[in-house]
Amino acid sequence: MISKGLDKLPEYIKFGKVDGWFYCDNNQLVSLEGCPFSVGGFYCRNNKKQFSEEEVKRVCKVKYSIHV
């Protein structure tokens, strides 16, 4: 989902659990709604809204690291 110009994650995709890294960098996201509930790592930089690590942790269990 990198650099797709998304303002929200598509409702038709149900990520669930992602064993590897989840990337949603360089979009226009203003919400983390629709993110996987569990990931290996999380990249969510350069969006319309600057998300905090705490916001990511509220919606997703991250095994390794978060890059916001």
pLDDT in tens, 16-54: 999 999 999 999 999 999 999 999 999 999 999 999 999
40-51 residues labelled b (16+ CB within 10 A) or e (exposed): eebbbeebeeeb
Q: pLDDT grade, residue 1 (50/70/90)?
A: low
The pLDDT value given to residue 13: 87
Q: Which two tokens stand for residue 8?
A: 């929200």
What is the amino acid identity at position 54? E
Whether residue 14 is predicted with pLDDT greater than 80 in this model: the reply is yes
In this structure, the number of other CB atoms found within 10 A of the CB of residue 68 comes to 16
